[in-house]
Amino acid sequence: MKKVLFGVVVEKDRSGYFAYCPQLQGCYTQGKTYEKAIHHIKDAIRLHLDDRRSKHENIPLPESVSVTTLEIAA
Protein backbone atom coordinates (compact mmCIF):
# COMPACT_ATOMS: atom_id res chain seq x y z
CA MET A 1 0.00 0.00 0.00
CA LYS A 2 1.43 3.38 -0.97
CA LYS A 3 1.78 6.20 1.52
CA VAL A 4 0.05 9.53 0.94
CA LEU A 5 0.54 12.79 2.82
CA PHE A 6 -2.66 14.43 4.08
CA GLY A 7 -2.79 17.93 5.52
CA VAL A 8 -4.06 18.20 9.08
CA VAL A 9 -5.16 21.31 10.98
CA VAL A 10 -4.87 21.31 14.77
CA GLU A 11 -6.52 24.06 16.81
CA LYS A 12 -6.16 24.63 20.54
CA ASP A 13 -9.25 25.49 22.55
CA ARG A 14 -10.21 25.56 26.24
CA SER A 15 -10.77 21.81 26.52
CA GLY A 16 -7.77 20.61 24.52
CA TYR A 17 -7.09 20.30 20.81
CA PHE A 18 -9.37 19.85 17.79
CA ALA A 19 -7.88 18.25 14.66
CA TYR A 20 -9.29 17.75 11.17
CA CYS A 21 -8.22 16.76 7.69
CA PRO A 22 -9.51 19.28 5.10
CA GLN A 23 -9.16 16.81 2.20
CA LEU A 24 -11.45 14.26 3.87
CA GLN A 25 -14.82 15.83 4.57
CA GLY A 26 -16.10 14.91 8.01
CA CYS A 27 -12.76 13.57 9.22
CA TYR A 28 -12.10 15.21 12.57
CA THR A 29 -11.34 14.41 16.20
CA GLN A 30 -10.05 15.91 19.42
CA GLY A 31 -7.61 15.25 22.24
CA LYS A 32 -6.68 16.69 25.61
CA THR A 33 -3.09 17.18 24.41
CA TYR A 34 -1.57 18.01 21.02
CA GLU A 35 0.01 14.56 20.88
CA LYS A 36 -3.32 12.84 21.62
CA ALA A 37 -5.06 14.91 18.92
CA ILE A 38 -2.39 13.86 16.40
CA HIS A 39 -2.74 10.21 17.44
CA HIS A 40 -6.53 10.40 17.12
CA ILE A 41 -6.51 12.14 13.72
CA LYS A 42 -4.18 9.46 12.33
CA ASP A 43 -6.71 6.84 13.46
CA ALA A 44 -9.60 8.89 12.06
CA ILE A 45 -7.88 9.20 8.66
CA ARG A 46 -7.16 5.44 8.56
CA LEU A 47 -10.78 4.64 9.43
CA HIS A 48 -12.07 7.14 6.88
CA LEU A 49 -9.91 5.61 4.13
CA ASP A 50 -10.88 2.04 5.15
CA ASP A 51 -14.56 3.01 4.94
CA ARG A 52 -14.11 4.48 1.46
CA ARG A 53 -12.25 1.36 0.29
CA SER A 54 -14.98 -0.92 1.65
CA LYS A 55 -17.56 1.04 -0.38
CA HIS A 56 -15.30 1.02 -3.48
CA GLU A 57 -15.19 4.82 -3.39
CA ASN A 58 -12.30 6.82 -4.75
CA ILE A 59 -9.80 8.06 -2.21
CA PRO A 60 -9.19 11.75 -2.82
CA LEU A 61 -5.52 12.46 -3.27
CA PRO A 62 -4.36 15.64 -1.58
CA GLU A 63 -3.63 18.58 -3.84
CA SER A 64 -2.52 21.30 -1.48
CA VAL A 65 -3.54 22.99 1.73
CA SER A 66 -2.69 26.57 2.51
CA VAL A 67 -2.87 27.95 6.03
CA THR A 68 -2.55 31.63 6.72
CA THR A 69 -3.34 34.12 9.44
CA LEU A 70 -5.65 37.07 8.83
CA GLU A 71 -6.00 40.10 11.05
CA ILE A 72 -9.64 41.14 11.36
CA ALA A 73 -11.03 43.97 13.48
CA ALA A 74 -13.43 42.43 15.97
Residue count of the chain: 74
Structural domain of 22: 1-74
pLDDT tens digits for the chain (74 residues)?
778 889 899 999 999 999 999 999 999 999 999 999 999 999 999 999 999 999 999 988 877 777 788 899 98
**CATH code (residue 45):** 3.30.160.250
Based on the structure, what is the number of domains in the chain?
1
For residues 13 and 37, give the distance between their C-alpha atoms in angstroms, rounded to a whole number.
12
Q: Residue 38: its pLDDT value, please?
A: 97
Query: pTM of the full predicted structure?
Result: 0.83
Give the 3-state DSSP-derived string for 10-67, with helices as H, strands as E and coil as C. EEEECCEEEEECCCCCCCEEEECCHHHHHHHHHHHHHHHHHHHHHCCCCCCCCCCCCC
